[in-house]
Chain A
């Protein structure tokens, strides 16, 4: 909180300089809409909080346009945003578009074409703001002709976090070598991950510490676990695009898919076998709880979303492991790294989202101004520090970001240098329906009610049924 306050004050102070010669432009551009309140909805994440608490206030001070951003849970965000856009009710002037849902939104023509909107209204084009400043992550929010439908506000990769202090302990190293016959290091293979997890679970218990060997984002009633499997674990085993054959839209092996193939089963087996070495809350943990568990020092290693990596590593008010966090790429199965480097695969999920304007918005022009304000270069560094996200190319080189990068064991550098190995979700317009069909099988595998093999056989049949129902297999 103090950090956020500091960021707010610092940004306010630097704001006159930031707006520079453009402050007058913003004032004039906002004048016709002064007094308007823009209503937005987004997922409650550190970047979203920064936008609502800091950027919205600056924007109001500059233009007179008030921004009320409703940062809520992931489920509620989707529920409210989609219902609003479907009903064309115009409650929200801008909505959060997660990278994986953008194909659904574009398919259903929910969003305003921002490129076209700005081109047809030059008076709204803010000086010094260019969509070219964004990293390639903005490409996920473009249609086939290259027009932008969402302005990225967060982008981060899924990394492997580990506890440097635990892995560095001499007694742990000696005990591990005696037990497993090789040295204790952060995992570079899945076998090593499992050994580390088993070892630290017992080691922590012996030492009277409340910690376990690994995180597992394994909620048995929330899609977070399906996403974890499909977007992080399965790709690192070489299973891409949910195992769906992108030509025939089939996912079962017998029909040409891969969702119940060897790689998928190896991935799910690996993941479920980690459960005995995960904190007891693992089966009720979404991405947020995994971040909190790691920050509380309850896990020695794990897959953690990058939006949490920075604060876990640097924010002593919220994290008990500041200065003790190491960041690496997660292990991958043989061949996966080569495929990812050549663009024929990916090692994990490049997550993030953008703000877009629904057609139903009653204040499209004022919202265009707000989205351009969000896209300004000037506040990107503070936003990156507060939210662990980077959407602009130049942000990596900002001195403030580089300082935090050092404290966060090179998380930002890792994203800059290896981001190309990651990918967003596959371009499925049926994203929600497909995932919903898979969910119960992943939940059952995690709960031990089904073997991973049974779960994936069932999941692929359910997914194929959905794709057939929706007409994708014709």
Chain B
């Protein structure tokens, strides 16, 4: 096969080379480091091999790490559900005509072009106690105290709101593209058959949108599982461990505490968990899609 496609392989080679350098080499290096006990702040700062399972065994009993995974999964499920629901509604709305539609679509898309760290800054300026307008307004008009530096629940939900604000436009635009491309014949047939709007949505739109939904769900799921920047800027992972998602936890272990071996093992384990979650989700969605066909 190779000999028949020499030209193709030649053209592909730069891409393959880059992929190896920026993808595979770092991956295998992290995998390799994960087998060592290594902290340059230690009395012995060298890499010490203490068995393939040394760091991984430790992680199984690391309550803080396991909690961070659970917290990340909870966050992903919540944001994904809300972003999909809201994004679908907005996409459906944008299919119809209304005044200032183009303006709304433009404004709605703005958060997408803002870097995550800036999104964190914007929310911090907007919501920080003493300086931000939101706590003042909530207190003055609703008697509600917003202080996510002290309240773990508020901190978690503030991150959720921030993520929704940032990423719902992506969901909307992708779903809008999918909806715009759907064939009209099934809709016309359904209307002739007397189906109402809800039935059309449930039995026509949703099934036809499954491929697009799968793409959106996977992109957003993987993104939300590795959230770091916005959280870093807004809460720093606090208060306590309240918003210490796995990405933040790994960063702190590796770059603050310098547990390079353990941190690498965390990264590999978390990657594995992410792949497993995505695979399960994919299997469920694809099998459901097939059974509906």
How far, in whole Å, are A435 and B130 apart by their CA atoms in the complex? 28
Q: Which segment of A40-48, A215-223, A366-374 sits at the interface? A: A215-223
Is the CB–CB distance between A281 and B43 below 8 Å?
no
Is the CB–CB distance between A437 and B135 below 8 Å?
no
Q: Which segment of B5-13, B176-184, B210-218, B232-240 sits at the interface? A: B232-240
Which partner residue on chain A sits nearest B231 by CB separation?
A221
How far, in whole Å, are A437 and B131 apart by their CA atoms in the complex? 30
Which partner residue on chain B sits nearest A449 by CB separation?
B240
Instruction: Tell me the chain B residues, 251-293 only, with Cβ under 8 Å from chain A.
Output: 252-253, 255-259
User: Given contacts A108-B40, A432-B258, is CB(A283)–CB(B150) below 8 Å?
Assistant: yes
Please tell me the number of chain B residues within 8 Å of chain A, measured between CB atoms. Answer: 36
Q: Determine if B202 is an interface residue (Cβ-Cβ < 8 Å).
A: no
Chain B residues in 8 Å Cβ range of A440: 64, 238, 240-241, 244
How far, in whole Å, are A433 and B256 apart by their CA atoms in the complex? 6
Chain A residues in 8 Å Cβ range of B238: 219-222, 440, 443, 447
A 167-209 to B, binary, CB cutoff 8 A, 1 in contact else 0 = 0000000000000000000000000000000000000000000
Interchain CB contact (< 8 A) of A447 among B129, B130, B239, B255? B239
A 255-283 to B, binary, CB cutoff 8 A, 1 in contact else 0 = 00000000000000000000000011111
User: Given contacts A221-B236, A437-B257, is CB(A447)–CB(B150) below 8 Å?
Assistant: yes
Is the CB–CB distance between B239 and A433 below 8 Å?
no
Instruction: Tell me the chain A residues, 409-455 only, with Cβ under 8 Å from chain B.
Output: 429-433, 435-437, 439-440, 443-444, 446-450
Instruction: Give the shortest distance, in Å, between B66 (CB) and chain A (any CB).
Output: 15
Q: Which segment of A90-98, A123-131, A143-151, A463-471 sits at the interface? A: A463-471
Q: Which of A431, A448, A449 has the most CB of B within 10 A?
A: A449
Chain A residues in 8 Å Cβ range of B135: 280
How far, in whole Å, are A432 and B257 apart by their CA atoms in the complex? 5
Q: Determine if B111 is an interface residue (Cβ-Cβ < 8 Å).
A: no
Is the CB–CB distance between B237 and A448 below 8 Å?
no
How far, in whole Å, are A220 and B130 apart by their CA atoms in the complex? 15
How far, in whole Å, are A241 and B130 apart by their CA atoms in the complex? 34
How far, in whole Å, are A283 and B150 apart by their CA atoms in the complex? 7
Interchain CB contact (< 8 A) of B130 among A221, A298, A429? A298
Chain B residues in 8 Å Cβ range of A436: 252-253, 256-257
Is the CB–CB distance between B239 and A469 below 8 Å?
no
Interchain CB contact (< 8 A) of B42 among A281, A448, A470? A470
Q: Determine if B18 is an interface residue (Cβ-Cβ < 8 Å).
A: no
Chain B residues in 8 Å Cβ range of A437: 257
User: Given contacts A221-B236, A436-B256, A447-B238, is CB(A283)–CB(B43) below 8 Å?
Assistant: no
Instruction: Tell me the chain B residues, 25-58 only, with Cβ under 8 Å from chain A.
Output: 39-45
How far, in whole Å, are A443 and B241 apart by their CA atoms in the complex? 8
Chain B residues in 8 Å Cβ range of A223: 256
Chain A residues in 8 Å Cβ range of B130: 279-281, 293, 298
Is the CB–CB distance between A219 and B149 below 8 Å?
yes
Chain B residues in 8 Å Cβ range of A107: 41
Chain B residues in 8 Å Cβ range of A448: 150
- Chain A, interface SS category: helix
Chain A residues in 8 Å Cβ range of B204: none
Q: Determine if A317 is an interface residue (Cβ-Cβ < 8 Å).
A: no
Instruction: Give the shortest distance, in Å, between A114 (CB) and chain B (any CB).
Output: 23
Chain B residues in 8 Å Cβ range of A450: 240
How far, in whole Å, are A450 and B40 apart by their CA atoms in the complex? 32
Chain B residues in 8 Å Cβ range of A432: 41, 256-258
How far, in whole Å, are A471 and B41 apart by their CA atoms in the complex? 10
How far, in whole Å, are A107 and B39 apart by their CA atoms in the complex? 13
Instruction: Give the shortest distance, in Å, between B54 (CB) and chain A (any CB).
Output: 12
Is the CB–CB distance between A220 and B252 below 8 Å?
no
How far, in whole Å, are A446 and B239 apart by their CA atoms in the complex? 8
Instruction: Give the shortest distance, in Å, between A286 (CB) and chain B (any CB).
Output: 10
User: Given contacts A280-B135, A436-B256, A447-B150, is CB(A430)–CB(B41) below 8 Å?
Assistant: yes
Instruction: Give the shortest distance, in Å, between A78 (CB) and chain B (any CB).
Output: 8
Q: Determine if B72 is an interface residue (Cβ-Cβ < 8 Å).
A: no
Is the CB–CB distance between A433 and B257 below 8 Å?
yes
Q: Which of B130, B241, B252 has the most CB of A within 10 A?
A: B130
Instruction: Give the shortest distance, in Å, between A397 (CB) and chain B (any CB).
Output: 40
Chain B residues in 8 Å Cβ range of A469: 39, 42
Is the CB–CB distance between B258 and A433 below 8 Å?
yes
Contacts A83-B255, A220-B149 supplied; 6 other A-B pairs, CB < 8 Å: A82-B255, A219-B236, A221-B237, A222-B238, A283-B129, A471-B43
B interface list, Cβ under 8 A from A = 39-45, 64, 124, 128-131, 135, 147, 149-152, 235-244, 252-253, 255-259
A interface list, Cβ under 8 A from B = 79, 82-83, 86, 104, 107-108, 218-223, 279-284, 293, 298, 429-433, 435-437, 439-440, 443-444, 446-450, 466, 469-472, 474
22 contacts between A and B (CB under 8 A): A83-B255, A86-B40, A104-B41, A108-B45, A220-B235, A220-B240, A221-B235, A221-B238, A222-B236, A222-B238, A282-B149, A283-B149, A433-B257, A433-B258, A436-B256, A436-B257, A439-B252, A447-B152, A447-B238, A447-B242, A469-B39, A470-B43
